[in-house]
Structure 1
Amino acid sequence: MTTSTQSAGPAPDGRSTRWDEHRATRRRELVDATLRAVRQHGAGVGMDDIAAVAGTSKTVIYRHFTDRQGLYAAVSESVDALILRNLAVATGAAGNDLTSADSSPRGLIAGAIDAYLTLVEKDPEVYRFVVTAPLLDQSSGDPAAPVTGHIAAQMALVITEALDRAGRDPAPARVWGAGLVGMVRAAADQWLADPDAMSRGELTEHLTDLAWGGLSAAWPDETP
């Protein structure tokens, strides 16, 4: 009896794997350097400033990101991941122990709003950099749409789960998620223009009241 064996593919090239890891590490370092440059020079930072903070040349940066659009996309992805992690913690989606947090529907909305505003307060220039994309040439559409879209999708999941638990129709969850993020983003942009007008906690409370005033009609609060 003849036993046929399927030949395995070629073994991974160790040198290629190490080079891929090196490039990924270098990209992360350049993203971190860009964030430092934004914090140092403001959202309108130029490529020369970024290269100086990174201790390299624009040519090297473009070698890793192709162009300014590629660098902006990588920075936006980094900020996007940070916001999503904060949202997961605020809403309990990351499996964290939130026994001391307000896990009521209204409390979840407040936590999500505060998670977004926390980035705005702690890193205003990075927020402006992502939202306004001054590094890019004039372009059509909203450059921050991927970031806000991911946040809206995360909020829609949280709302869907809460509605399911309450025995409610989850159909509006996607619309509510997008509407909530749009409202908070608009308010955050206005707040940045006059941050002394109120604290982050006050703004969170005002926005929660506004959002919950509509959401509670179809999603009654389970707390007394």
Structure 2
Amino acid sequence: MRSVQPEVRDGVVSRWSGQRERRRVEFVDAALAAIAEHGPQTSTEQIAVYVGVTRTKLYRHFTCAADLQRAIAQRASEMMIAELAPVWQPHGSMGQIIEAGVGAHVRFLVGHRNLYRYLARCSLAEDSDAHDAITDIKFSIGTQLGQVFGVYVGAFGVEADTELSAMSIVGMVETAAGHWLDNPGGTSQERLIDDLVRWIWLLIDDTLRSGGVYLAREEPLSEPEEIARTVEQYRDPGRIAPA
């Protein structure tokens, strides 16, 4: 019998690994479609049917239901982070950046409410192996937002725990928007966004003022390097109109 050379075996393993990853991506795509159609109570069996395979075959690519849920949560996190591009590449005034970010976040939840509720249901499951997807998504967004805050707050020369501030903002937006999805009352989507933008600005404005920096909400935001170079101009309380 001919022996299989190590490089040949490695090539086979590599091809199988690549195929397995592609199939996992396909299954997650199908899972998102199934959840959009069947709602937050979508089961693993329904996802398998939507893909056109048996549950057993599905589990050749996912070790268990929790593994599938983690993959779905990871995709949801990537989708939301992509929607929040205006925050990662700030342009315009602080008010415009906040409004763009909050608006994108709320519209994402509205457009993917079944997915959001599915992940929330998985996070609240009694099964100890259940994945806390919502917390992971908030952590991913909060971490990235904290890095953006760090750059600008640092440029202004203000000492603050930007990661904690970012996590607070993300938590507030997610909690308020999640509650609103199920209990909108008389609050419109536009009103929700306006309120969240105002609350977030108050937090940011207070953080800046505590460090002796005065910035108008609709004032165009310069690049961090320019802010650091001209930071003294932001230390005059008289440069902006009283709130």
Q: TM-score range by the shorter chain?
A: 0.7 to 0.9
Could you say which residue in structure 1 is the equivalent of 2:50?
53
Query: How has the CA–CA distance of structure 1 residues 42 and 156 changed in structure 2, closer, same or farther, with 3 Å as cutoff?
Result: same
Within a 5 Å distance, the mapping from 1:153-164 to structure 2 comes to 153-164=143-154
SS in 2 for 1:17: helix
Could you say which residue in structure 1 is the equivalent of 2:31?
34
Question: 1:44 touches 1:134 (CA, 8 Å); kept in 2?
Answer: no
Cα distance per residue 1:55-108 (max 9 Å; x no partner)? 001111111111000000000000111111222x11243xxxx7xx5x322332
Question: 1:132 touches 1:143 (CA, 8 Å); kept in 2?
Answer: no
Corresponding letter in the other structure for 1:189? G
Question: 1:180 touches 1:211 (CA, 8 Å); kept in 2?
Answer: yes
Cα distance per residue 1:153-197 (max 9 Å; x no partner)? 01111111121232322x320111110011111111111113473
| Range with greater deviation from structure 2 (47-56 or 104-113) | 104-113
Could you say which residue in structure 2 is the equivalent of 1:204?
193
Corresponding letter in the other structure for 1:221? L
Query: How has the CA–CA distance of structure 1 residues 86 and 163 changed in structure 2, closer, same or farther, with 3 Å as cutoff?
Result: same
Q: Does structure 1 residue 69 correspond to structure 2 residue 66?
A: yes
Q: CA deviation at 1:149?
A: 0.5
Could you say which residue in structure 2 is the equivalent of 1:149?
139
Q: CA deviation at 1:36?
A: 0.7
Query: How has the CA–CA distance of structure 1 residues 85 and 141 changed in structure 2, closer, same or farther, with 3 Å as cutoff?
Result: closer
Q: Number of residue pairs matched?
A: 206
- Show structure 1 runs of 5+ residues with no match: 1-9
Q: Does structure 1 residue 221 correspond to structure 2 residue 211?
A: no
Query: How has the CA–CA distance of structure 1 residues 63 and 197 changed in structure 2, closer, same or farther, with 3 Å as cutoff?
Result: farther
Q: CA deviation at 1:19?
A: 1.1
Q: Taking structure 2 as the reference length, what is the TM-score of the superposition?
A: 0.77
Within a 5 Å distance, the mapping from 1:33-182 to structure 2 comes to 33-87=30-84, 89-93=85-89, 103-133=92-122, 137-139=126-128, 142-169=132-159, 171-182=160-171
Question: 1:51 touches 1:61 (CA, 8 Å); kept in 2?
Answer: yes
| Range with greater deviation from structure 2 (119-128 or 212-221) | 212-221
Q: 1:23 aligns with which of 20, 25, 49?
A: 20
Could you say which residue in structure 2 is the equivalent of 1:3?
none
Could you say which residue in structure 1 is the equivalent of 2:233?
none
Give the root-mean-square deviation of aligned CA atoms. Answer: 2.3
Question: 1:68 touches 1:136 (CA, 8 Å); kept in 2?
Answer: no
Question: 1:69 touches 1:136 (CA, 8 Å); kept in 2?
Answer: no
Question: 2:124 touches 2:132 (CA, 8 Å); kept in 1?
Answer: no
Question: 1:68 touches 1:135 (CA, 8 Å); kept in 2?
Answer: no
- Show structure 2 runs of 5+ residues with no match: 1-5, 209-213, 220-239
